[in-house]
């Protein structure tokens, strides 16, 4: 595998896997590109690469579903794995372990390089020329409030005192060529940064990044702890710093290899109406909200730029994969830091990341002598309830690690046969996220509800646990060896 330093090298790797579908016919950025992308994600097809976008200058291109599940047989996480410098064969457990380990490494700040030779500076638009009208801004869903500039790009923002620079994904809607608006929720990191600018009554400088090192969008879509600089975390994750250059009109830095950079300021008050927009939970809710106004001061871009498009909706698409991996890694980290034995964690993608599944070693009782399953799971709930990331999923299941939580067949069997219909569960009340339609309207309005933690652990080995009725569970070892040897000689004979 060659080193992936930008979106173009990443797409070359996907194409080598057969995970890119080039579309040369003209495609309309209003709904058609998103419809093709949406169908691609639902059918697990290769990522659509639109080479001929209608209504814009020749050379402008678009890539759909760059962070969704891969079409590569047996390797659904190939896109996110390659984005983070890992082999395309990486499993969910390996991905979570890698991310959890990266969180223990010292951050590696970005490296400034010569702006004059940076690809993102090949074309520079300032003032009135800095307009979105020349770009293929996608209209994603038919009932959206407008075209959405940002679906898989990262917004860079910094606190007024400079102590924290946040790079995160948040949806942003086009109002006209020079103005946008987007979700800036108090619970989001961009909202936390913006509130500091609001408090001093000054507009917040921002830079919106489309394209670049593919790991930037993946990390921007994760839920790292507040105060963590995503670009420095990504440097530690990759083992090398991200190359950056300064913006044209503010003191933020941006990836040198980015496809498009939009610079400007975010108003210190909520002056615009954002939405509606169909979201990751799979529902096209007719919601709008007052949000700050993004003004555009400059746009820089590469020759023949490639605009990334994520068509959010029913699972599984880009809006599920990166958050699932990032949250799972954080869950593993906080539980292990609390001294609890954990094998892995995973947010099942088909459940729109509304569930967290935690698996523990089958010999966990050796590490926690005298503790029964109820107390063990209570302790897990206690740790999760005391941490922001632990309340990001309204339902938590604790299972033995004889099942793979990323395997839907394994998971459904385990949930169906090990979860009691109404016993062995605890409700932990506290803050809830505003985007979960499974809660009551009153709960969402108050921002307060329950996270339910299910004890689905089996009895101890030798104390009532029965073997699985599977190939590995109910046949003698010598017979299994002969059958496997015969299969290897004459597979599917």
- Tens digit of each residue's pLDDT (9 = 90 or more) over 53-70: 999 988 999 999 999 999
CA distance 321 to 84: 13
Q: Write down which residue in 270, 289, 309 finishes a domain.
A: 309
Confidence grade of residue 434 (pLDDT, cut at 50, 70, 90): confident
Secondary structure in 3-state letters for 71-99: CCCCCCCHHHHHHCCCCCCCCHHHHHHHH
**What pLDDT, on a 0 to 100 scale, did the predictor assign at position 3?**
78
Q: Is the pLDDT of residue 310 over 60?
A: yes
Whether the Cβ atoms of residue 447 and residue 471 lie closer than 8 Å to each other: no
The residue assigned the tokens 């689905």 is 456
Tell me if 41 is assigned to some domain: yes
Q: Are residues 363 and 282 in the same domain?
A: no
Geometric angle at alpha carbon 482, from 476 and 488, rounded to 5°? 135
Q: Are residues 305 and 419 in the same domain?
A: no
Q: Mean pLDDT across the stretch 388-407?
A: 96
Q: Is the pLDDT of residue 263 over 80?
A: yes
Tell me if 247 is assigned to some domain: yes
Tell me if 472 is assigned to some domain: no
CA distance 278 to 143: 8
Confidence grade of residue 103 (pLDDT, cut at 50, 70, 90): confident
Q: Mean pLDDT across the stretch 42-62?
A: 95
Whether the Cβ atoms of residue 227 and residue 242 lie closer than 8 Å to each other: no
Confidence grade of residue 423 (pLDDT, cut at 50, 70, 90): very high
- Tens digit of each residue's pLDDT (9 = 90 or more) over 128-175: 999 999 999 999 999 999 999 999 999 999 999 999 999 999 999 999
Q: Are residues 305 and 342 in the same domain?
A: no
Whether the Cβ atoms of residue 134 and residue 56 lie closer than 8 Å to each other: yes
Q: Mind telling me the catalytic residues?
A: 279
Q: Is the pLDDT of residue 486 over 80?
A: yes
Tell me if 489 is assigned to some domain: no
Q: Mean pLDDT across the stretch 225-244?
A: 93
Tell me if 333 is assigned to some domain: no
CA count, 13 A, side-chain hemisphere, 221: 29
CA distance 160 to 157: 9
Q: Is the pLDDT of residue 1 over 50?
A: no
Tell me if 376 is assigned to some domain: yes
Tell me if 470 is assigned to some domain: no
Q: Are residues 439 and 355 in the same domain?
A: yes
Q: Are residues 185 and 294 in the same domain?
A: yes
Q: Which domain holds residue 279?
A: 7-309
- Tens digit of each residue's pLDDT (9 = 90 or more) over 353-396: 999 999 999 999 999 999 999 999 999 999 999 999 999 999 99
Q: At what angle do helices 92-102 and 230-238 cross, to 10 degrees?
A: 120
Q: Are residues 24 and 62 in the same domain?
A: yes
- Residue whose C-alpha is closest to residue 63's, from 194, 204, 292, 217: 217
Q: Are residues 259 and 367 in the same domain?
A: no
Q: Are residues 267 and 395 in the same domain?
A: no
Q: Write down which residue in 293, 309, 325 finishes a domain.
A: 309
Domain tally for the chain? Answer: 2
- Residue whose C-alpha is closest to residue 97's, from 262, 276, 329: 329
pLDDT exceeding 90 applies to what percent of the chain?
90
Confidence grade of residue 225 (pLDDT, cut at 50, 70, 90): confident
**What pLDDT, on a 0 to 100 scale, did the predictor assign at position 187?**
86
- pTM for this predicted structure: 0.93
Q: Residue 301's domain is classified under what CATH number?
A: 2.30.110.10
Which segments of 329-434 are extended strands (E)?
344-346, 355-360, 395-400, 425-431
Q: Are residues 427 and 300 in the same domain?
A: no
Burial of 285 by CB count in 10 Å (0-12 exposed, 13-18 middle, 19+ buried)?
A: middle
Q: Are residues 357 and 239 in the same domain?
A: no
Tell me if 154 is assigned to some domain: yes
Whether the Cβ atoms of residue 166 and residue 230 lie closer than 8 Å to each other: yes
Q: Residue 444's domain is classified under what CATH number?
A: 3.40.1670.10
> How many C-beta neighbours within 10 Å does residue 129 have?
10
Q: Are residues 153 and 95 in the same domain?
A: yes
Q: Are residues 301 and 345 in the same domain?
A: no
Q: Is the pLDDT of residue 493 over 90?
A: no
Whether the Cβ atoms of residue 296 and residue 70 lie closer than 8 Å to each other: no
């Amino acid at each position: 595998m060659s080193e992936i330093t930008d979106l173009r090298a990443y797409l070359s790797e996907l194409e080598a896997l057969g995970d890119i579908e080039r579309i040369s016919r003209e495609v309309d950025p209003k709904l058609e590109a998103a419809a093709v992308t949406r169908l691609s994600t639902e059918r697990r097809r290769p990522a659509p690469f639109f080479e001929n976008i209608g209504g814009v200058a020749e050379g402008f291109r678009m890539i759909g579903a760059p962070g969704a599940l891969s079409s590569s047989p047996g390797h659904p996480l190939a896109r996110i794995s390659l984005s983070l410098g890992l082999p395309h064969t990486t499993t969910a457990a390996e991905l979570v372990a890698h991310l959890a380990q990266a969180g223990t490494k010292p951050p590696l700040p970005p490296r400034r390089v010569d702006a004059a030779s940076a690809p993102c500076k090949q074309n520079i638009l300032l003032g009135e020329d800095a307009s979105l009208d020349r770009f293929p801004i996608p209209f994603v869903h038919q009932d959206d409030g407008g075209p959405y500039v940002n679906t898989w790009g990262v917004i860079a923002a910094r606190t007024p005192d400079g102590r924290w620079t946040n790079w995160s994904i948040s949806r942003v809607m086009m109002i006209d060529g020079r103005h946008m608006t987007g979700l800036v929720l108090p619970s989001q990191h961009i909202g936390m940064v913006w509130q500091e600018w609001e408090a001093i009554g000054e507009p917040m400088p921002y830079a919106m990044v489309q394209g670049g090192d593919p790991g930037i969008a993946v990390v921007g879509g994760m839920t790292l702890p507040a105060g963590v600089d995503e670009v420095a975390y990504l440097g530690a994750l990759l083992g090398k710093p991200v190359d950056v250059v300064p913006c044209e009109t503010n003191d933020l830095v941006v990836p040198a290899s980015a496809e498009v950079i939009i610079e400007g300021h975010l108003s210190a008050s909520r002056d615009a109406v954002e939405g509606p927009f169909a979201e990751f939970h799979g529902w096209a809710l007719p919601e709008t909200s007052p949000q700050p106004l993004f003004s555009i001061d400059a746009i820089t871009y590469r020759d023949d730029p490639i605009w990334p498009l994520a068509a959010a909706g029913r699972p599984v698409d880009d809006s599920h994969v990166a958050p699932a991996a990032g949250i799972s890694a954080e869950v593993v980290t906080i539980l292990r830091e609390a001294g609890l034995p954990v094998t892995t964690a995973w947010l099942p993608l088909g459940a729109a990341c509304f569930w967290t599944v935690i698996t523990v070693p089958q010999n966990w009782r050796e590490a926690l002598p005298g503790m029964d399953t109820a107390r063990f799971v209570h302790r897990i709930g206690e740790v999760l309830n005391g941490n922001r990331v632990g309340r990001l999923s309204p339902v938590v299941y604790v299972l033995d690690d004889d099942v793979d939580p990323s395997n839907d067949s394994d998971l459904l069997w385990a949930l169906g046969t090990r979860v009691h219909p109404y016993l062995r569960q605890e409700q932990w009340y506290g803050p809830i996220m505003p985007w979960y339609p499974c809660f009551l309207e009153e709960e969402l309005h108050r921002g307060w509800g329950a996270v339910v933690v299910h004890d689905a652990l089996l009895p101890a080995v030798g104390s009532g646990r029965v073997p699985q009725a599977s190939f590995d569970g109910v046949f003698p070892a010598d017979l299994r060896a002969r059958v496997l040897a015969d299969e290897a000689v004459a597979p599917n004979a």
